[in-house]
């Protein structure tokens, strides 16, 4: 038994509880499990007979933010969805290749879908909290979906931890029982980040997480991404070049030329991709000359 701190969901004050875990969890933990390296090897994807990705290989280093950029329709979101097996939920979808999580292929039969979802979380373009559900229940909602069992006290710890990591705790600590739908759009997106973090993923996928937000909320979510870097591996799809430059250390430029499936033209350190691209198409895209 280990002593851990507990946040009272009504008052927001920290207390102390016991937990059958060897880890000591201080209140407002800003420490999740170690971030994991994700490696896509020769990933191809189809919708019916339409191939949208061909032989995409990319390493997304542990604890870094990797941005996926490129014009609309080149397969960025599809690629992102192959990284935690969301792609296979679409009836016509097919997949080829490997996605290695710390060297283990998440498509291996030994991996269950829930294993992939628990370790590799996802945040979507449009904030999608359960609007009538309380802020507290929204945060813990993912636990059930991924089959993670925790007792009431552990839940309290996780709620404070996740909201803290998502940069929302101070704003909502006194109203955890209010509905998630009553928050602003930016707060709702950070609530969704907290919900994703509550299952303690080692990788977080984000599909244009700021595209539905105003500039102030966007800045706040970007700060959250920057705070999370190092704690969790992040892969973010963004159309916003400035955002990619601000938040990512690695960057991959996707392109689907003239009806061909999408692929990566160039990838590497964000600074290099933006400031000294090796391929003329990358140079044109980052300079805003197309897309």
Distance CA 173, CA 12 (A): 5
**Is residue 140 close enough to count as binding ligand ATP by CB under 6 A?**
no
Cβ–Cβ < 8 Å for 83, 107 = no
**Is residue 52 close enough to count as binding ligand ATP by CB under 6 A?**
yes
Distance CA 206, CA 146 (A): 18
Distance CA 108, CA 110 (A): 5
**Is residue 263 close enough to count as binding ligand ATP by CB under 6 A?**
no
In the list 72, 110, 242, 258, the residue contacting ligand ATP (rule: CB under 6 A) is 72
* SS3 category, 223: helix
**Is residue 73 close enough to count as binding ligand ATP by CB under 6 A?**
yes
In the list 5, 44, 66, 77, the residue contacting ligand ATP (rule: CB under 6 A) is 77
Burial 34-45 (b: 16+ CB within 10 A, else e): ebbbbbbeebbb
- 59 bridge partner residues: 39
Our CB check for ligand ATP shows the closer of 7 and 74 to be 74
**Is residue 167 close enough to count as binding ligand ATP by CB under 6 A?**
no
Tokens of 244: 């990619």
Query: How many of the other CB atoms lie within 10 Å of CB of 77?
Result: 20
Number of residues engaging ligand ATP in binding (CB under 6 A)? 11
- Residues 272 to 291: which contact ligand ATP by CB under 6 A? none
| Binding-residue pattern over the window 88 to 127 for ligand ATP, x denoting contact by CB under 6 A | --x-------------------------------------
- 65 bridge partner residues: 234
Cβ-Cβ contacts under 8 Å for 244 (sequence gap 6 or more) = 67, 69, 236, 238, 251, 270, 274
- Residues 12 to 51: which contact ligand ATP by CB under 6 A? 47
Radius of gyration in angstroms for the set of CA atoms belonging to the chain, rounded to a whole number: 19
* Segment near ligand ATP (CB under 6 A); pick from 1-9, 15-23, 67-75, 147-155: 67-75
**Is residue 131 close enough to count as binding ligand ATP by CB under 6 A?**
no
Our CB check for ligand ATP shows the closer of 50 and 170 to be 50
Q: Is 140 exposed, middle or buried (0-12, 13-18, 19+ CB in 10 A)?
A: buried
**Is residue 75 close enough to count as binding ligand ATP by CB under 6 A?**
yes
**Is residue 199 close enough to count as binding ligand ATP by CB under 6 A?**
no
* Segment near ligand ATP (CB under 6 A); pick from 66-74, 129-137, 162-170, 242-250: 66-74
**Residue numbers of the site for ligand ATP (CB under 6 A)?**
47, 52, 70, 72-78, 90
């Amino acid at each position: 038994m280990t002593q851990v701190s507990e946040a009272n969901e009504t008052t927001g004050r920290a207390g102390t509880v016991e937990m059958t875990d060897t880890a000591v969890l201080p209140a407002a933990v800003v420490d999740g499990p170690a971030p994991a390296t994700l490696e896509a090897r020769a990933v191809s994807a189809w919708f019916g007979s339409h191939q949208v990705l061909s032989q995409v290989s990319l390493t997304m280093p542990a604890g870094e933010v990797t941005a996926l950029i490129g014009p609309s329709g080149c397969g960025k979101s599809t690629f992102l969805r192959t990284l935690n097996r969301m792609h296979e939920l679409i009836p016509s979808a097919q997949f080829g290749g490997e996605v290695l999580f710390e060297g283990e292929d998440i498509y291996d039969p030994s991996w269950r879908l829930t294993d992939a979802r628990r370790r590799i979380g996802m945040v979507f373009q449009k904030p999608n909290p359960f609007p009538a559900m309380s802020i507290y229940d929204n945060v813990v909602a993912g636990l059930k979906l991924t089959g993670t069992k925790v007792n009431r006290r552990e839940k309290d710890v996780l709620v404070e931890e996740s909201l803290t990591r998502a940069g929302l705790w101070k704003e909502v600590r006194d109203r955890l029982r209010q509905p998630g739908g009553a928050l602003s759009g930016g707060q709702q997106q950070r609530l969704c980040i907290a919900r994703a973090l509550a299952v303690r993923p080692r990788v977080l996928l984000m599909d244009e997480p700021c595209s539905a937000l105003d500039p102030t909320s966007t800045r706040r979510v970007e700060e959250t991404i920057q705070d999370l870097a190092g704690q969790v591996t992040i892969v973010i799809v963004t159309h916003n070049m400035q955002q990619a430059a601000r938040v990512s250390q690695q960057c991959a430029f996707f392109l689907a030329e003239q009806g061909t499936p999408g692929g990566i033209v160039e990838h590497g350190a964000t600074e290099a991709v933006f400031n000294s691209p090796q391929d003329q198409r990358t140079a044109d895209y980052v300079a805003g000359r197309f897309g």
